[in-house]
Structure 1
Amino acid sequence: MAERLAPKAVHQPLPVARWLGGLRRIAFRSAAILGLLAIWEAAPRLGLVDSTFLPPFSEVAVAWWQLAADGQLLDNTVASLGRSLTGFGLAVVVAVPLGLLIGWYKPVAELLGPLLEVFRNTAALALLPVFVLLLGIGETSKVSIVLYACVWPILLNTISAVRTVDPTLLKLARSLDLSPVRLFQKVILPAAAPTVFTGIRLAGAVSILVLVAAEMVGAKAGLGYLVNSAQFNFAIPQMYAGIVTISVIGVGFNQILVALERKFTSWRREQP
């Protein structure tokens, strides 16, 4: 009687090994940041820089905790995030459809092209006084300046994405007698998605940077206001605490957009 063949054992990594591997990856990715923080802590204490203007990181961390404990950090962060996300979201809603339209229909591109060239070469912060004069120093002007600044990276990347779709794919899709709607759905959008998301990620960074600058003029809340107020009152550790918070928010926002990009472009990883 033939012996029954035993199935080959599949060696799965032990939970401890997986945990150690993940820990090593985190440590490797964090090495540069930890090195920077170590230099930041050591340079003022060793007299390499004036600690009055660049306090050690530990003092900044203490100041950050104090701002968080008394609620100032949360209030200003919520104010900034509300403005930034509103302007950014409106920019996505406006720029993506408009970019698809301009990129696909040549008459629309010829009509709007000269106007877009004029405005896209005008820096958002250069128009800040105009937004303040027309819309006041309240929330509307700040959301509008973020909207204006975020539109351009999304719009230009979307136009480029549509215009650079592989012509072979388009010929193949037309040979299958796909309707224009199906062509857009099955070919244009999937092929353009990675470049569109590149523009969206760029706009995410712009939404934070432009807003912080705008909040330094006439605002009564927000991280830009916090940094500017701390600098004016010579509360240097609090100033750096606000700057660090802005950086952390920017990194976190980018990671969220990266995760969304992976979700909506998962078909690229599924290809053989």
Structure 2
Amino acid sequence: MATPPVVERPAAAARRWGSRAISVFTAVATRLVAIGLLAAGWELFPRLGLADATFLPPLSEVLVAWWQLAASGELTAHLQASLLRSLGGFGLAIVIAIPLGLVIGWYAPIANLLNPLLEVFRNTAALALLPVFVLILGLGETSKVAIILYACSWPILLNTVSGVRTVDPLLIKSARSLGLGPVRLFQKVVLPAAVPTIFTGIRLAGAYSILILIAAEMVGAKAGLGYLINYAQYNFAVPDMYAGIITISAIGLLVNQLLVHLERRFSTWRTQ
């Protein structure tokens, strides 16, 4: 005779969901403590005279300036320009660097051929090459997207190569003993095992795409968050400058959280 299913009582279910809600609230509150302390210090220090309000205005003034920029549409225009450049270079880096990294990591002859070039360029800072990109490609959008592409390619490429090369040899031997050919072995064993390391490189590249963009927009740009910060500094609009910095920080945080979510989606096979 089949055993009847166990039905959870409403009181027990309520306690379980209540406990889970408390755990989530506690985790979120703990993460917000540091941000709250920073915001409180930013607001109080200038007002108490512990910091020069001319160069570090209270947070409330910065937020008012941010709202005015947003309401006028100026912030939206700069944000759109920056996102188009950043996502363009970042997307091209993913499309180019991941396949190239998989090939280099999987085929030793190609790795031996390209390693000398990789060692030369991986140790050259992207910002050091910014004048070269400007001289060759001009001050337009092409040079900005190209420098972001260059900067983002290296963490993705190197982590992809590392991910392929550090796959557990026992997994590969077991798959070969089961009769998997090279293509199926790479598809079913090597690539899934390398996904976490690849996403580490993608997350690093996501941060680089924002940082390098800001520096590139300070040279010859007419729009973008980097231009906004530079323009506000020269015109001594300090609250506007900090408003641009806060916007950049928020974008970086959102991009990182999105990539973490995508990593979890693509790595559901792993034991959490």
TM-score class, shorter-chain normalisation, is over 0.9
Task: Measure, in 2, the Cα distance between the counterparts of 1:13 and 1:213.
Answer: 52
Using the TM superposition, give the Cα deviation of residue 29 of structure 1 relative to its aligned residue in structure 2, in angstroms. 1.6
Q: Secondary structure at the match of 1:65?
A: helix
Determine the structure 1 residue equivalent to 2:139.
Answer: 137
Task: Measure, in 2, the Cα distance between the counterparts of 1:95 and 1:5.
Answer: 55
Determine the structure 2 residue equivalent to 1:171.
Answer: 173
The TM-score normalised by the length of structure 2 is: 0.94
Determine the structure 1 residue equivalent to 2:80.
Answer: 78
Determine the structure 1 residue equivalent to 2:246.
Answer: 244
Cα 1:230/1:269, change in 2 over 3 Å: same
Equivalent residue pairs, number: 267
Q: Does 1:262 align with 2:261?
A: no
- Structure 1 runs of 4+ aligned residues shifted over 4 Å read 4-8, 14-21
Determine the structure 1 residue equivalent to 2:158.
Answer: 156
Q: Does 1:92 align with 2:111?
A: no
Task: Measure, in 2, the Cα distance between the counterparts of 1:152 and 1:6.
Answer: 55
Q: Percent identity?
A: 67
Deviations 1:193-246 (A, max 9, x none): 000000000000000000000000000000000000000000000000000000
Determine the structure 2 residue equivalent to 1:188.
Answer: 190
Name whichever of 225-234 and 27-36 sits farther off: 27-36
Q: Does 1:214 align with 2:206?
A: no
Using the TM superposition, give the Cα deviation of residue 251 of structure 1 relative to its aligned residue in structure 2, in angstroms. 0.3
Determine the structure 2 residue equivalent to 1:202.
Answer: 204
Determine the structure 1 residue equivalent to 2:122.
Answer: 120
Aligned residue identity for 1:239: M
Q: Structure 1: where are the runs of 5+ without partners? A: none
Aligned residue identity for 2:50: L
Task: Measure, in 1, the Cα distance between the counterparts of 2:6 and 2:205.
Answer: 53
Deviations 1:73-106 (A, max 9, x none): 1000010000000100000011101001101111
Using the TM superposition, give the Cα deviation of residue 24 of structure 1 relative to its aligned residue in structure 2, in angstroms. 3.4
Q: Secondary structure at the match of 1:268?
A: coil
Name whichever of 175-184 and 208-217 sits farther off: 175-184
Correspondence for 1:43 among 22, 35, 45? 45
Using the TM superposition, give the Cα deviation of residue 6 of structure 1 relative to its aligned residue in structure 2, in angstroms. 9.9
Using the TM superposition, give the Cα deviation of residue 176 of structure 1 relative to its aligned residue in structure 2, in angstroms. 1.3
Q: Secondary structure at the match of 2:66?
A: helix
Q: Secondary structure at the match of 2:271?
A: helix
Name whichever of 7-16 and 220-229 sits farther off: 7-16
